[in-house]
Structure 1
């Protein structure tokens, strides 16, 4: 079921909020671009003329591969770190206003954050611009362990660019859908931190998912998903032409998205998309503060 249809079904169930995690209006996408500085970014045209050759990674690989990335997936930077480091991945999801991204709840986006879709760290290229995060929406019941880890997802709205465009118009968007079952052929795209992977490039892997016992979460095995890939979209029906797909989860969940120890970069988790994520989606598109009993 597509998100638009499901929103109608859940409209009556979403609690009424007041406010949300807002800003004072001083942080714009244009300012985010200026903060980055001319030495660290190229002009944003909304166009990426490079050829895309990633179809081989659609095979069941078991090991992540570096590639040039896709327009609707990128990294989160923080002003407090001078935008030098990224430690979470996010992606654009379709919404009525075209201004919504999704990541893991434990990423703690906060104030003065910026989203850089299609980031290419090795070349310091930002082909789709730098987008200031406006408001964030996280389920208040989220925790790192226990049942609260099943709620480890978050949405954020981003401000228009200097030309008044919403991000979805520039990058396209994935479609938020219900997780269809435990077994899925998912393509997972993310950005490891430079501490974990000096290449500073996007990675992708196609793997089969299964249920994480004792939780409303999926698990998959694929090497290379180090720190920084939290929030990576899990996509089915990935289209190599549009470079988008149906988003059935994001990398996160128990212990921040994987087991402790030597297997932490090889086994990844994702909360399933059920009623709870669509309630939060409604909060985000309507600008309501999430409130859960």
Structure 2
């Protein structure tokens, strides 16, 4: 199941700013005129509240229990909670003013300005990242951050099963209007190589409004395994509808700090899995770590 909506067309002005470069290690997209201030002016809390739900298959709603801990939900089911500053949503500009369409997370980096999501989310030049997004009056508790550059493996290609092993993207976000880096505001998860196919992880994501009217973060703690004979992981947990692509898989998650070590994300084969219950992830190995180094050097 594709865990994201099709992106709306960007505005003509932003498309005019878009430049695409493809070095040997990763793809870089830049939008010089897209700043945190521009993102905040466009995606006001009022406009977010009035944005249209993303179109797509509507599935049975996730369990409505509200909790601050993944351990409080029934086994194998995601639960709503208040979210954490290191995980948020991606918004894009388009004529239909579509609501958030993918999930992303902050990863620790020397520049303190990198987020991680799935490559099939296409986090291009007109994207804003909202950490710990939540419904209500305060939809941007930590601001909105403009994506500056995007890095994907050159072997990644949509609708290519073999390329789904590389369904990972890093994006650099611009400083906010006070000159702060995103990691200084939200903290960050650590990035690490996937230690094996069997791991106990906590997954945090944001389903689209069309699939989950609560419009809140969800979380689930469960065990991963190998996806058939592929170099990918799978897990079973209800509730990860469209919109949760890019949701981080966190090892050693600390509920007190809301952080952990990210060793995977919802992505890979079929855009992240066939249903809201079964999710996939590429294995984080040498290609992902090399892409991370490229993002840090650029």
TM-score bucket (shorter structure) = 0.7 to 0.9
Quote the residue 2:267 is aligned against.
252
Aligned-pair distance for 1:196? Answer: 0.9
Quote the residue 2:91 is aligned against.
77
Quote the residue 2:283 is aligned against.
272
Quote the residue 2:100 is aligned against.
86
2:203 aligns with one of 172, 179, 188:
188
Quote the residue 2:245 is aligned against.
230
Matched residues in 2 for 1:88 and 1:16: separation? 27
Quote the residue 1:32 is aligned against.
39
Q: Structure 2 matches for 1:167-178, cutoff 5 A?
A: 167-178=182-193
Quote the residue 1:117 is aligned against.
131
TM-score by length of 2: 0.81
Quote the residue 1:165 is aligned against.
180
Ranges of 4+ aligned residues in structure 1 off by more than 4 Å: 15-19, 81-84
When the two chains are superposed, the root-mean-square deviation of aligned CA atoms in Å is 2.2
Matched residues in 2 for 1:94 and 1:58: separation? 28
Q: Structure 2 matches for 1:40-79, cutoff 5 A?
A: 40=47, 54-57=68-71, 61-79=75-93
Q: What SS class does the counterpart of residue 39 from structure 1 fall into? A: helix
Asked whether 1:132 is paired with 2:143, we answer no
Alpha carbons of structure 1 residues 110 and 234: separation in structure 2 relative to 1, 3 Å:
same
The number of equivalent residue pairs is: 259
Alpha carbons of structure 1 residues 56 and 215: separation in structure 2 relative to 1, 3 Å:
closer
Asked whether 1:21 is paired with 2:35, we answer no
CA contact (8 A) 1:104 1:252 kept: yes
Aligned-pair distance for 1:123? Answer: 4.5
Aligned-pair distance for 1:125? Answer: 1.7
Unaligned runs of 5+ residues in structure 1 are: 1-14, 42-51, 288-293
| 1:257-291: CA deviation from partner (whole Å, max 9, x where unpaired) | 102xxxx111000001100001111111112xxxx
Which structure dedicates a bigger proportion of its chain to helix?
A: 1
